Amino acid sequence: MNLVDLKTTLPSNGANGTGRIKSGRTKLRTENASLFYGKFQALRNISLEIPECTINAIIGPSGCGKSSLLRIFNRMNDLIPGARVEGEVMLDGESVYASTVDVVQLRKRVGMVFQKPNPFPMSIQENIAFGPKQHGKTGRGEIDRIVESSLRQAALWDEVKDKLGQSALALSGGQQQRLCIARVLAVEPEVILMDEPCSALDPVATLKIEDLMRALAENYTIVIVTHNMQQAARVSDLAAFMMMAADRAGELVEHGPTAQIFTNPRDKRTEDYITGRFG
């Protein structure tokens, strides 16, 4: 692949720096954020701003801290013994690591879709209803409305509306991933984090997820980790390139509009990576 190939991958209109960044209002921001697992430093001095209602791709070689960066936004790293964060991680201008933050409410606002689809071993209906019920919504009519609305947003309703009582495990891989996205949407998040959500899917299912991401970005802020350079070029408005330092700490090389990162990067290391010279 070369930069000319990537230029043909980038959309000719709509996304990637040609108009979809609406307000420019910052939704997520890190300032000199560093992450440690015990004595090991996984991230070093990461500073970036993510505007509201945009799709942001995090790219870089394996082991450079992409998923670790993703998880600091909703404190998923808290589940790892010895993990600690230094610096600032902000959601709507407020620290997500403040002592007053309710982590359950934070993860409601900042949902996560994982690399491998992980539907619960229960019905399609119960998968979607699980989150709202945990947050106190129990009325049958309200639950039914949330289930339908979430599945419609995830472009899955027409495929499953006649089998809501069937096991979610019977769905195809692509359908399971869209179900997991619907499950996140059911609790009305503001941000959706996606950790390589298409890596286990075939090309047809991948394109459906990409189309879904573009539709969701009208109302949600999306941050996606991906190893697929064409996918990042196709779907994202902004891209962040990371690398691993000599001590294995992940560092941010550059962050900017996708068209600029993929066709006119400021750092030679970025060009070398996206054109396949290393990584």
What domain range is 77 assigned to?
3-116+191-274
Look at the block and give the residue holding tokens 């691993």: 244
Establish if 173 belongs to a structural domain.
Answer: no
Q: Is residue 112 part of a domain?
A: yes
Q: Is 169 a domain residue?
A: no
Residue 203, domain member (yes or no):
yes
Quick one: pLDDT at residue 18? 39
Tens-level pLDDT at each residue, the chain (279 residues): 455 455 555 554 344 443 456 557 999 999 999 999 999 999 999 999 999 999 999 999 999 999 999 999 999 999 999 999 999 999 999 999 999 999 999 999 999 999 999 999 999 999 999 999 998 888 899 999 999 999 999 999 999 999 999 999 999 999 999 999 999 999 999 999 999 999 988 999 999 999 999 999 999 999 999 999 999 999 999 999 999 999 999 999 999 999 999 999 999 999 999 988 875
Asked if the structure places residue 127 within a domain, the reply is no
212 inside domain? yes
CA dist 79 and 198 (Å) reads: 24
Is 254 within a domain? yes
What was the pLDDT predicted at 138? 81
How far from each other are the two terminal CA atoms of the chain, in whole angstroms? 13
Q: Indicate the number of domains in the chain.
A: 1
CATH of the domain at 80: 3.40.50.300
Instruction: Provide the CB-side half-sphere exposure for 258 (13 A, CA).
Output: 32
Residue 141 lies in a domain: no
